[in-house]
């Protein structure tokens, strides 16, 4: 019975240490995701300003009959110079992976 108790205690200690390391890793991943989200929000705000200015300019050109009509298309692409990331997404350095 003593041996069984020791076995269960050691097993629980291992599980607890594994659980704690997983929690720490998850917290780090969550922080990384939050940082990426903040960067994307900043980029979105910048893009909105540029798109508004572009739209105003094109509206002005349309009113002055310089152009007949216009369409505005937006594309968001992700690039990486990290070799492992590029390999994982099967792209060459400098090409977008999303």
- Long-range contacts made by residues 40-46, C-beta under 8 angstroms, separation at least 24? 43/76
pTM for the full model?
A: 0.51
Distance CA 55, CA 17 (A): 56
What does the pLDDT profile of the chain (98 residues) look like in tens digits? 566 656 666 666 665 666 767 777 888 888 888 998 899 899 889 988 988 998 899 889 888 888 888 777 777 788 888 888 888 888 888 788 77
Domain boundaries, the chain: 2-67, 68-98
pLDDT recorded at residue 13: 63
Q: In the block, which residue shows the tokens 């917290």? A: 27
pLDDT recorded at residue 49: 92
């Amino acid at each position: 019975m003593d041996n069984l108790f020791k076995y269960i205690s050691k097993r629980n200690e291992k599980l607890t240490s594994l659980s704690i390391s997983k929690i720490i890793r998850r917290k780090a991943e969550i922080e990384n995701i939050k940082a990426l989200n903040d960067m994307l929000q900043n980029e979105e705000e910048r893009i909105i300003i540029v798109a508004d200015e572009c739209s105003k300019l094109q509206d002005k050109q349309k009113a002055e009959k310089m152009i007949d009509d216009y369409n505005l298309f937006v594309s968001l692409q992700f690039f990486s110079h990290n070799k492992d990331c590029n390999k994982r997404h099967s792209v060459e350095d400098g090409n977008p992976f999303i």
